[in-house]
Structure formats: C-alpha cells, structure tokens
Structure 1
Amino acid sequence: MEYNTTRNHLIMKEYGRNIQKMVEFLLTIEDDMDRQRNSMAVIELMGTLNPHLKNVEDFRHKLWDHIFNISGFSLKVESPYPIPTKETLKARPERLEYPKKYPRNRHFGKNLEMVIDKAIQEENPEKKEGFTQTVANYMKLAYGNWHKESVHDDAIRAELLSITGNELDYHPGASTSNSVASTQNFSQGNSNVGNSDQFRTNSGKRKNFQQNNKFKGNNGGKGNNNKHNNKFNKNRNK
C-alpha cells in the first residue's frame, strides 16, 4: 500500500493526484507530436474537472499556466500563450509605500487640518467666518464623543486660536439670531398644528356623538317592534 507521506508533494491540490501523475507521464514522452497531443488532452480534462474556471476571463490561459506549474516549468510543448517561468509566476510584488504625512493634531484628524488650512487661505470674510463656525462645531462634537461631557465655548476658542496661530477667531454667538428665529417659527408651526389637531378632535367627537344618537334611535325602534311582536304572539297563542 502506498501512503501519501511516501508520495511526492502535490503541487496544485485542486486538480488532484491523478492529473499530476498524467503531467509527470507527459515528461517521459520523447516524441514531440505525441507529447503535444497528450498535453492537449490533459488540458481538456483539467477544464472538465474545474468548470468554474470557464466563467473566468482567459480560462484556457490559466489552464496552460497551471499545467506548466504542475510540471515544474519543465514541460516542452508549444503553447498558444506565453510560456511562464518560475521567476515570473512566483515573483513578489513591490513593497507598497505608505504616506508618511502625520497630522499636526492627531486627535482631530487630517481632514479637519485640511479644512483649517482652507479657512485660513479664504479671503471672503463671510466664508471665512462660516469655516470657523464649522470647525469649532466639529471640535465640540469630537470633544463630546471622546470625553462624554460638554465643553465650554471659551475652551474651544482658545484651542482654535492656538492651532491656527490666531488666524481663526471663534465667536460662539455669531449665528444665534438665525437659530432663535428658526426656533420661533418651529414653535409657531407646532402651535398651529396643535390647533388644527384640536379642531379635528372636536369634529370627530361631534360625529361620534351623532352616530351614537342615531344608533340609540335605531335600537329604540327595534325595541318597539319587539313589543308589538310579543303581543301578537300572545294573542295568537290564545
């Protein structure tokens, strides 16, 4: 009995031991025409055993590369594709160079640093003020996410001045008027909605009251009819 431990190394496990033995047999064939014909038959068999390769682009090119790999790149046949070598097939990719730019303030990230640089270069005062407010609001948000507590506006202003070299001055109450106006409009809208809801509730109660009265009237009529029917039945029995 022959055990796997005594056999040679299985190069491509997805094709199995029998395909590898066939490729090893191809290396022993001396006639070039016979070796070429048998190699084509092994290629067809490899494609049959792995039908998922047919969905891959240039799957026959992959089959030829695999048969050369199984043979240890020593198979002498004519291939319709460039014959690979061990160096080209197993070459290591070049080392990827990572950027070595470190942000000045890592706790805020690199994106905030880019926004700050753009805000400093902005010449329009209104846009510059808008950038400043956005940066300060993000700084407060980042502080709250990390420390789980609120931070005073003066601390944000002092830190922003320190980061930007006194280029961006944060004014906490710069946009409070718009927020107050929007809050008032929102509250007025809610009051109107409440009045309309109250009107709908009252009209609904009125409709329910009318329906209940109509239902009671119908029940009363049915009650009178029942009395007449009872009298008629008594007289009939007599």
Structure 2
Amino acid sequence: MSTAARANIGVVGLAVMGSNLARNLASREGNTVAVYNRSPGRTDTLMTEHGDAGFIPSTTIEDFAASLTRPRTAIIMVQAGQGTDAVIDQLAEAFEEGDIIVDGGNANFQDTIRRERALKDKKLNFVGAGISGGEEGALKGPSIMPGGSAEAYETLGPILASIAAVAEGEPCVTHVGIDGAGHFVKMIHNGIEYADMQLIAESYDLLRRVGGHDPAAIAAVF
C-alpha cells in the first residue's frame, strides 16, 4: 500500500504508554502522528476509540516509514531489551540517512550507547529519551530527558516540548547530552525517586509504631 508522507512524528508500540504518548502528540497543534504496532489489534483499538484525533495508522513498518515526512522521526515505546533491538533493526531498514529513531523506554544507558554507535555507522540519528510521569504523564505531559546528537534535537526538541509537562512556564524537556546520557539521567532520576519513596515509608512506620500517631495525623505531615 502506498502511503503519502504527511506525519511529522511517529510512535511504534501502542500499549498504554505508547498509546497515551501518541494521543498527547496528536492533541498538540502542528503534529500529525503516524502509529504502528506489531499486533494490529492495538492499532485498531486506538483508531476505534480516538481515530478522530488524526492518526495515520499503518500495518507494516514500510508503510509507517512512508507516512513520515523527512527527516523521519519515530519514537519507540516497547518493552526494553530485545524487543527494542528488533524494532530498531526494522526501522533502520526502512529509514534513510539523517532520519531519527528515538527510544522512549527504560533502556540501560549502555545499550543506548551501543545502539547509537551502530546507527551512526548507518548515518541514522538515535536518541535515548528518558520519559517520566507514567501513564498519566504520557497523556497529559511527561518530563523528558533526551540524549543523542544536537542535530537530532533540533528536529525532535520542538516536538517533545509541545507535549512535555510545564513548570514555571517552561517545558520539562532539555537535551541532556550525547549517546546514552538521556537514559543515564533517567536511571539517576528513578534511583532518587525510589529512595524518596522508601524514606516516606520508613518515616510513616516510625511515626505510627514508635510515635503512636494515627494515620490522619501522619497524613497531615505528608
């Protein structure tokens, strides 16, 4: 099937995070979003429930690539690991010099470095982007930590800024550095977040069991 190139951004992987991110992108003025999922059922569900948002669905990677304007820009939202590598390999076959592949999953930053170097040899841009905020953030505005080349960020940055959360009038996205920097920053972010959660849990336990405070009083503290 021949597909006219008219989408400025694409999303591969339409589980909850990918679907919500695609909906967020489509809701912003100036974005036309190509979508693809390996199993077409998730694409069908997205189109049935939100097809009026202006998505361009595809059933093959080739048609997905053909629906994107140059430089083609695609965000991968699949489970980290071998699945990500498989999608990257498929996109690399369909994309051309200067196109941009973005991994929005929770990849090991060392994998991101490896992938960035391999795709650079093929003259493709690879961006590892940490995305924080969970399912709700993906839909309503996440914090985004992209690494990769400055050249790729010139194209990708305004798109990410259009969907990011806003704090003090500024979008919560910035180019954090080369190759694996985005996923490295996300790793540090997650470590701090989980440490904070543990501190809150331990503080509650001490206030409840040692201090003898009731849950309502403790809730007022937090």
TM-score, L = length of structure 1? 0.22
Instruction: Name which one, 1 or 2, has greater alpha-carbon Rg.
Output: 1
Which structure carries more helix by proportion?
Answer: 1
Which structure carries more strand by proportion?
Answer: 2
TM-score, L = length of structure 2? 0.23
Bigger relative contact order, structure 1 or 2 (CA pairs below 8 A, ≥6 apart): 2
